[in-house]
Structure 1
C-alpha cells in the first residue's frame, strides 16, 4: 500500500508589481479592479502567503495544484512575477496551475493562452485544455474556466469543446485504473457561489461527470472551505474548495489554508483523506483537522 500526497491551494492573489500606465486600461475592467484592490488588498498578505507556501514545501507533497487567481489584473508584469513565484515554489513538473477569472480579466494585453505559465499548465506546452498529467496512480485533468467577462461579473465558462475532450479523457483514464482529479477555478456544485460568480456551463459539466465519473474535483474562487458532492455513475463525487492562500486571520474571508490530500490504493480500492492546515492569529500554521472522503 502506497500513498500519493497532493497539496491543494488556491487564490493567492499575489501582490502586483508596480504596473506601467496604459491608456487602454482606463476603458477596461482593469480600472475597476485597481479600485477594488485598493479597498481589499489588506485581505491578501504576502507574509501569510509565504507562510502557507513554506508549509506546503516543508510537507514535501508528490504534487501541488493551484486553482487560479495568481494575479489580480492579468497584466504581463503580473504573469512574469507569478512565474517567478511558481519557480520558487518548486519544479514545474510537480506543480499544476488552473487559471482563474482574475488571470483572464480582460482580453487585451493578457499573455496569449497564459504563455508564461505553460510549464505549470501541463506536460505538453502546445496542448489545449483540458491538459492531462499522470503522476503515479493519479490522473490530473486540468480544466480552464477563465474567460474575460463584463464589469462586475466573475463568471467562468468551459465551452463545449473542452467538455467533450474532458469526457473522452475521463473514460480513458478510468480504463487505465487511475484516480481522476479535476482542477478548475470555479465551483461545480449548484448554489456554491452567486450567479454573477458562477460557472456558466456547470450543469453541462455535472452531466459529463454523471456519465463518465471522477474521484475528486478541486476548485477555488469562493474564498471559502467548501465540500459538496455531485452525481457520478457509481455514486457521489466529492467537490472540494479551499479559501485564498493569502488571507490573514480575522479578515472578512476565512483565513488562509491549504489541503494535503492523501490518496491510497489498497486491494484495488482508492481511499482519500484530507488534512487541513491554516494560518492562525499569530500567522503560524495550525492543524485544522483531518477527515476521510467517502462516496
Structure 2
C-alpha cells in the first residue's frame, strides 16, 4: 500500500489545507457563508488541482465533524450549525442531474420553481458540466445562461451559492454574470510551507528532504496538493530517482499524462481555445517575437472576457511546462572566415593614433566581435540562444593560427548560451559543418580523398561535425539528436570535393611530379592551380536519411541546395546533386535546411510533386557573419522551435547588423512539411 496517492477520494485526516480545524484565510468567505457581491462565489481552479477536495473540505469544516459524507456521494446535505452561524451546507455535483433534483436544486438545471432552503444555506456546486458553443459535452450538460439563472434563484432565496469551475467554464459563464461578479472570484493560492510539510510528514525518512529540494530547484511542484502528492508518489515508487530531480520530474510528468490524463484535462478540457492560444502567444513573445492577435482570438477574448491575470501564472505548472516548454532558440551562423578579411564595424579612414582611439571608443571591431557583444545583451535579457548551428567557412584557410582564433571565439560563444529544460547536461550546444574554405586545398590531389578534411576534423574535434575525414561513409556522424526536445539535426558535408583541381593538364602534371618523388613540391604547386569547390553530398550518406516519428528534423550543410537571388557566374557554386539531396531530405521529413556559402540571407519553400506524400521543404541561407566579401549586411538566422507535446512549430527570421545594431527582419512560421506559411498569431490557435 502506497503512502501517497493523488487520485484518492477525500479523507479529512489527509487534508493538508484544512488540517486540525485550520481554516485558511482565503477560504473564510466560503466556510463562514459570507454573502457574495453578485450571484455566487466563483472558485476558479484548473482540472486536477483539487476542486472536489476543496468542496468536501469546506463541507466537512462547516459540519464540525470528521464523519462527513462517504467518498462516493455526489450530493451531500449537512445539517446543524456551521462556523459563523450558518444554517447548513448542501453539496451537489451537476454531472448527476437526478441527485441535483433530489436535493431540491432543480433551478440549477432550468427547472421551474424557487428552491426551498433555509436562509444562509451554503450551496457548494461542483462540476458544472457546461455546454460548449459547439454542442453539449455530455448528456448532463447545462447551458451557462441556465446555470447563472439558477445561481440567481438560489441567491434570491437567501442561500449562498459557491460554484467550483475551471477557467474554461468561467469563460463560458462570464457573458451571463452580473457586473459585480469579478469581485466574487477566488483563486486558491499555492501551497504554503506548512501545508507542504504536512504532506511530506507522511514519509518522514525522505519526503521532507525531497520537498526542500523541490522548493529550491523546482518550486512548480509545490503549487497544488495534486502535483506535490504526484511527485511524492513517483519518488515513493522510484526511490532511485530521489536524488535525480530532473529524472524524477520526467517520471512524474509521464505518470500525470498516462494515468491521470493531466494535459488533456488541464490544458484541453479545462481551458478555452482562447486561453490555449494566449499561453502559446505568451511563450513566443518571451522568446522575443511579436505575435499579433488574430480577429478570431480577439472575438473569443471579447466573448469570454479577458484571460484572468491569475491564469498567466498557471503557465508555470511543471507538467504543462514539459508539454509546452519555452521556445527553443537556435542561431544559424555561417561564413565566419576567421583569419580572413572581415568587415569593419567602424569605417576608420583616419589611421592616426587619434583616429584609432576614436574608432575604439565608437566600438570598432569586426562583426564577430559585435555578435558576441550581442549575445551578452541577449543573455542579460533572457533571450540568448540555446543552440548554435554553424554551416561552414569557420576559418578563411585551414591554418593552425586561424583555428586557434576560431576555437577561442567558439569557447566564448558557448559560455553565453542559455539552458533549456529540454536539453540535457551532456547535449552538444554548437554543431558544425565545414565549408570550402575549411578544406586543405593543398591535399586535393592526395590519393586519400578524405585527407583534405583531416585538419578541420582534428582542430574542431570537440564539436559535432559531418566527419568528412572518415573514408567509410557509413561511419560518419549523421544525426545529432536531442531526445527530450524531439529534435534532430542532420549534419551533411557538402565540401567533400572542395579544392578540386580544375584542369586535367594540371592533374597529369602533378601526378607525374609526385611519381618522381616530389609530393611535397606538388602540395605547394597545387595552391597555384585553378580549382573548383563543388558542393556535393555523398549518395551513401543521403541513403542513410530516414524519417523518425515524433522528431522535428533540421539539416545543415555549407553549399546551397537551390539557386539564390544573387547571380554568380561560377562553376559548381551549389550542390551538384541538389535534386537528389532534396528528394532524400523530403522523404526523411526534414522541415528546414540551413546553409551558407552565398553570404546571402535567403528563404525558400520547395515541394516535389509525384514522389510520395506531399511535403514542403524549407531552405534558408544565412548572411555571412564575419566576412567582408559580401554585398549585404552581415547577419545570422534565428530559428525558433516551439514544441507542444510531440508536435512542433518553427519560426524563422534573419537578423542583420545595420548601423551597429542587430536588427531582425519579419519572421515566417510554419508547421513541418505544411504547404503554407502562417502568421504567428494564426499558428497559436487550435488546429492551425
Q: Where does residue 259 of structure 1 map in the other structure?
A: 637
Q: What are structure 2's unaligned runs of at least 5 residues?
A: 1-323, 346-364, 416-426, 444-450, 502-529, 675-688
Q: Where does residue 577 of structure 2 map in the other structure?
A: 201
| Higher strand content, 1 or 2 | 1
- Matched residue SS, 1:66: strand
2:369 is equivalent to residue 50 of structure 1? yes
1:115 is matched with which residue: 458, 472, 478? Answer: 458
Q: Provide, for residues 137-167 of structure 1, a one-character-per-residue CA deviation record: whole Å limited to 9, x for no partner.
A: 21011111123223353322221222122x2
8 A contact 1:52–1:256 mirrored in 2: no
Q: Provide, for residues 151-188 of structure 1, a one-character-per-residue CA deviation record: whole Å limited to 9, x for no partner.
A: 353322221222122x2xx32xx23x111010100111
Structure 1 or 2, whichever has the larger Rg, is 2
Q: Where does residue 303 of structure 2 map in the other structure?
A: none
Q: TM-score, structure 2 length as denominator?
A: 0.35
- Structure 1 residue 110: deviation in Å? 5.3
Q: Where does residue 94 of structure 1 map in the other structure?
A: 429
Change (3 A) 1:116 1:275: same
1:178 is matched with which residue: 529, 551, 555? Answer: 551
- Matched residue SS, 1:209: helix
- Structure 1 residue 267: deviation in Å? 5.8
8 A contact 1:75–1:110 mirrored in 2: no
User: C-alpha distance in 2, partners of 1:195/1:9?
Assistant: 25
Q: Where does residue 21 of structure 1 map in the other structure?
A: none
8 A contact 2:333–2:625 mirrored in 1: yes
User: C-alpha distance in 2, partners of 1:223/1:252?
Assistant: 6
User: C-alpha distance in 2, partners of 1:198/1:276?
Assistant: 21
Q: What are structure 1's unaligned runs of at least 5 residues?
A: 17-40
Q: Where does residue 139 of structure 1 map in the other structure?
A: 488
Q: Where does residue 33 of structure 1 map in the other structure?
A: none
User: C-alpha distance in 2, partners of 1:235/1:106?
Assistant: 38
- Structure 1 residue 81: deviation in Å? 2.5
Change (3 A) 1:291 1:237: same
User: C-alpha distance in 2, partners of 1:196/1:272?
Assistant: 31
Change (3 A) 1:44 1:196: farther
Q: Where does residue 35 of structure 1 map in the other structure?
A: none
1:269 is matched with which residue: 638, 641, 647? Answer: 647
Change (3 A) 1:56 1:280: same
- Matched residue SS, 1:276: strand
The farther-off stretch of 127-136 and 92-101 is 127-136
8 A contact 1:67–1:185 mirrored in 2: yes
Q: Where does residue 8 of structure 1 map in the other structure?
A: 332
- Matched residue SS, 1:120: coil
- Matched residue SS, 1:158: coil
Q: Provide, for residues 241-272 of structure 1, a one-character-per-residue CA deviation record: whole Å limited to 9, x for no partner.
A: 11100256xx7521111222111123643211
Q: TM-score, structure 1 length as denominator?
A: 0.78
RMSD: 2.9
2:561 is matched with which residue: 169, 188, 193? Answer: 188
